[in-house]
Amino acid sequence: MESAAHEIAQGVPIAVLLVDDEQNVLKALRRLLIDEDCEVFTATSGREGLEILKEKENVGVIISDQRMPEMTGVDFLEQARKVAPYAMKIMLTGYADVHATADAINKGRAHRYMTKPWDDDEILDVVRSAVDTYRLILNNRRQEEAEKEEQKNIQGLNLQLEKLVKYQQNELKRKDEKLKEFLQAEATPGRTTVLPILDLLESRSGVDQGHGRFVATIATELCREIGYSPDELETITTASLLHDLGKISSPDSVLAKSPDEMSREELMEYQLHPTRGQRALDEMDGMAGVGTLVRHHHEAFDGTGFPDRLKGTGIPLGSRIIALADFVSRFVPILDKENASERILQAVEQRFGTQYDPKLQPYLVNLLRDETSRRSLAHPRYVKELDPEDLIEGMELAMDIRSDAGVLLLKRGTIMNSGSLLAFEKYCRQENEKPLVFVYFPYDRVTTSDESKGPQ
């Protein structure tokens, strides 16, 4: 019953308990309180008063006579204190007794001592004041309980948050270990190693599935326009595929936002992913060049990028190409539509000289205004070198095939059919040559991302 006083529902009137062995006193007090906003209960003994307190939890004021048979007012108030500890207690007696007064205050925690006969106005003022005080106590108790409950809820949320953070940390650790397994599996990584690593990265919530493949396809076509050698092309293609590798260690809360939506702390965490990617790639033999391109793919041409704030030609050309390809990749959904090239060029034009290398602009223009090249960007693929005898029908040439003397045999973009295959095989036999052959191979696991979402 300790909590009874503060369990009274809001809106329930506070009750006054009158305890006196004289019926006429009880009737007079009840009549006096008839117009007050409170319930009134009466008892003719202390024992009866205690029973009422146990049944009626809304008793907030107790007025008790001192001299009663069986149980004095002091004894009653002392026991009432255990049942209704917060109720306001008033001692009423017909004679002055210093000891009784002291006992009522010390043992029963009486708040007021009044003598009979009483003054009606005075006792009304005392009761009203007691009701207001008790109501204030109730409000304070309710607020304390609410604060305790809120604190309990906060503690529960903190516990859940701790569990979630621990789970995410374990997930990141597991994926880091999985990545290390991939890195240790191949001393010299090829496409068979790079693509599983990419799939692991793109399994993270917040990382677009297929994004690395789209960027690699666009970067490959830009390199072809520039005239990169096959070895250089392989390095940039691999770096493009894995340019966001460092995000595998980024928290989900960061990956779920665009940089514009991140807090200062989240942005600092996000900007660590290029260096994390480089460190992971440096553990693989022969990938140092790839790691360097990955580290600098967020550098800006005007020096405002990260992580090293490199500027202009101080940024590796491969990184500059990947950065531009990353931006163009956001437009993949519209590449098959009319005016796609103009829309893309208009969007990127104002960024040349600040974010992107202006010397790459004419190569992008040529790429996008060639309808065949532009449409091919919407279907991510990579370039692979083949022996001439491995060519089969349906393969698309990624580069011109020329003879040892430089004569054009087959143009880039040719789809090999039975006739072109027979003619090419006949030439190779007769001239005893093995020209360089590069064809397109499609990537798997690709989903088109929303055009409205910019490169991250």
Reduce the DSSP state of residue 394 to 3 states and report it.
coil
Of residues 352 and 192, which shows the higher confidence score? 352
225: Cβ contacts below 8 Å, ≥ 6 apart? 363, 366, 367
pLDDT surpassing 90 at residue 332: no
Residue-wise pLDDT tens digits, 35-67: 888 899 999 999 999 999 999 988 999 999 888
Lowest-pLDDT range, 13-17, 260-264, 354-358, 378-382?
378-382
pLDDT given for residue 102 in this prediction = 54
pLDDT given for residue 141 in this prediction = 82
Average pLDDT over residues 341-353: 90
pLDDT surpassing 60 at residue 452: no
pLDDT given for residue 405 in this prediction = 83
pLDDT given for residue 376 in this prediction = 66
333: Cβ contacts below 8 Å, ≥ 6 apart? 448, 449, 450, 451
Average pLDDT over residues 78-84: 90
Percent of the chain residues topping a pLDDT of 90: 30
Provide the mean pLDDT of the chain: 81
Q: pLDDT class for 69, splitting at 50, 70, 90?
A: confident
DSSP β-ladder status, 15-19 and 59-65: parallel
pLDDT surpassing 80 at residue 337: no
Q: pLDDT class for 19, splitting at 50, 70, 90?
A: very high
Nearest of 115, 52, 46, 60 to residue 89 by alpha carbon: 60
pLDDT given for residue 101 in this prediction = 55
- What is 189-216 written as a DSSP string? --HHHHHHHHHHHHTSTTS-TTHHHHHH
pLDDT given for residue 446 in this prediction = 40
pLDDT given for residue 206 in this prediction = 60
pLDDT given for residue 368 in this prediction = 86
CA gap 50, 281 in Å, rounded:
81
pLDDT surpassing 90 at residue 306: yes
> Which residue segments constitute the domains of the chain, with CATH numbers given?
4-146 (3.40.50.2300), 186-377 (1.10.3210.10)
Of residues 111 and 322, which shows the higher confidence score? 322
Take residue 177 and report the two structure tokens written for it.
């270990």
pLDDT surpassing 80 at residue 335: no
Of the ranges 76-80, 180-184, 356-360, 389-393, which is most confident?
356-360
pLDDT given for residue 175 in this prediction = 62
Of residues 274 and 338, which shows the higher confidence score? 274
CA gap 39, 433 in Å, rounded:
112
Of residues 234 and 5, which shows the higher confidence score? 234
pLDDT surpassing 80 at residue 382: no
pLDDT given for residue 326 in this prediction = 93
pLDDT given for residue 29 in this prediction = 92
Q: Which helix (H) or strand (E) holds 128?
A: helix 120-185
Residue-wise pLDDT tens digits, 151-186: 877 777 777 777 777 777 776 676 666 655 544 444
Rg (CA), the chain: 43
Residue 14 DSSP code? P
Average pLDDT over residues 435-454: 59
pLDDT surpassing 60 at residue 7: no
pLDDT surpassing 50 at residue 273: yes
pLDDT given for residue 443 in this prediction = 60
Residue-wise pLDDT tens digits, 233-263: 889 989 999 999 988 888 888 888 889 999 9
